[in-house]
Amino acid sequence: MRIVELILDEEEMLAGVQAISIVEYPAIEENFVKLSKDQEIQLAQVDAEKRILMGPALIPNKTIYRKNGEDEYYIYFSKDTIRKVSEMFLTKGNQNKSTLEHQIDLQGLSVVESWIVEGEQDKSRAYGMDHPEGTWMVSMKVYNDEVWDKYVSTGKVKGFSIEGYFADKVNMGTQVDPEAEAEEMLEYIREELQKENLESYSDYPDAVSNNAKRGIELNEKVNNKCATQVGKIRAQQLAQKEPITVETIKRMYSYLSRAEEYYQEGDTEACGTISYLLWGGKAGLRWSSAKLKELGKLEASSQKVEMNKVNDAFGKYEQAEKTYNKAVSQVKTTINSFKRAEKLAGQAYAMLESLKKEAKELGAPAKLISQIDDIMKDSGETSRSANLWYDAIERLQD
């Protein structure tokens, strides 16, 4: 089953976490702790009356099962993405946005603390939580009596779950069609059976072997979730300096050429980085290119790489088109919201104008007339503001 890394597209208007939902079955499978005076150790400002929930919103590299129709897959977030998400959540002012089971908008819940776990001294340890470094923790205050009594106190909700918009990051070696992976394995078996009769080479530099060893080590740290089975076998061969066939060298060159953009030296938990190292990394690309050139086989391999790049580009275009269509849909929804706001504000202004006239006729005190004027002013500003936003978004859409 494929594994998809979700990333934050910081140029996307709707990107990031829009709200935090309280749910019965958190996708990250971690419950929150109800903080009260019953806790042996507690935050200084937390007591029974303050009704605060603490728990993880996102845990780095934790795979989360997803199903979209017949498509089943896992998603995960890196430490770097989680930190950016937590910061954007606050800078966008979304701390008062919450839902129940991702379905019902709630009032009276607010995130009062947000932090990233950075070591063993993290405050969450005092409440029996043992989340890895990079985890996004939140404390949520529940002002809403009904929510606390019906859902929290009764244990109907047990954890946090985020809702928002993210982009898929292609993880080379993990985004694999099962049929393609099966075909790759068959090719490997055929090659192994004929290995003695095939031209093979082991004159690749130590840097290739060392990169493969590094990739194996990093993959083990993330539960070997990266790369196909054949990719893992190739890494073992390279690490042990075993001879590899010309066909394998072609595949090495093809993969390393098109996957280079996903290699991030500083992100040692990303599958793009790990898979790239498993196949020998940049040293592997240099050697395979030189070897194929020496054997007079580089041109055919290059043409195949270019075709793969075209296919990758087309896939990215399709993803961009989907993202654009989703954004247009959200813009249309926002326009309709501002239309309603403008209409309601206009109706409120007309009602207040009529009320002011009636109050004057009845000889109401000047103070009351002044208060009505103030409310009318606010209503008028709301209407004008909604109209300005509506015009701006329509221009953006055009």
| 21/190 Cα distance (integer angstroms) | 51
Retrieve residue 381's tokens. Answer: 């500003």
- Kindly state whether residue 205 falls inside one of the protein's structural domains: yes
Assess whether pLDDT exceeds 90 at residue 105.
no
pTM, full prediction: 0.44
Residue 335: per-residue pLDDT: 56
The alpha carbon of 160 is separated from its chain's Cα centroid by a whole number of angstroms, namely 15
| 75/83 Cα distance (integer angstroms) | 17
Q: Of the residues 112, 134, 168, which one is the last residue of a structural domain? A: 168
pLDDT digits (tens, 9 = 90+) for 337-365: 656 666 666 666 677 777 778 777 777 77
> What are residue 95's DSSP bridge partners?
none
- Kindly state whether residue 383 falls inside one of the protein's structural domains: yes
Residue 5: per-residue pLDDT: 77
Burial class (CB within 10 angstroms; exposed 0-12, middle 13-18, buried 19+) of 363: exposed
Instruction: Kindly provide the b/e burial profile for residues 102-140, where b requires at least 16 CB atoms within 10 angstroms of the residue's own CB.
Output: eeeebeebebebbebbeeeebbbeebebebeebbbbbbb
Residue span of the structural domain in which 245 resides: 178-296
Assess whether pLDDT exceeds 70 at residue 14.
no
- Kindly state whether residue 304 falls inside one of the protein's structural domains: no
| 46/36 Cα distance (integer angstroms) | 7
- Kindly state whether residue 50 falls inside one of the protein's structural domains: yes
Residue 35: per-residue pLDDT: 38
Residue 96: per-residue pLDDT: 92
Same domain, 43 and 118: yes
- Kindly state whether residue 253 falls inside one of the protein's structural domains: yes
User: Structurally, how many domains does the chain consist of?
Assistant: 3
Measured CA distances, 215 to 197, 236, 278, 319 (Å): 30, 10, 5, 29
Same domain, 13 and 115: yes
Please tell me which residue, 385 or 286, carries the higher pLDDT value. Answer: 286
Assess whether pLDDT exceeds 50 at residue 40.
no
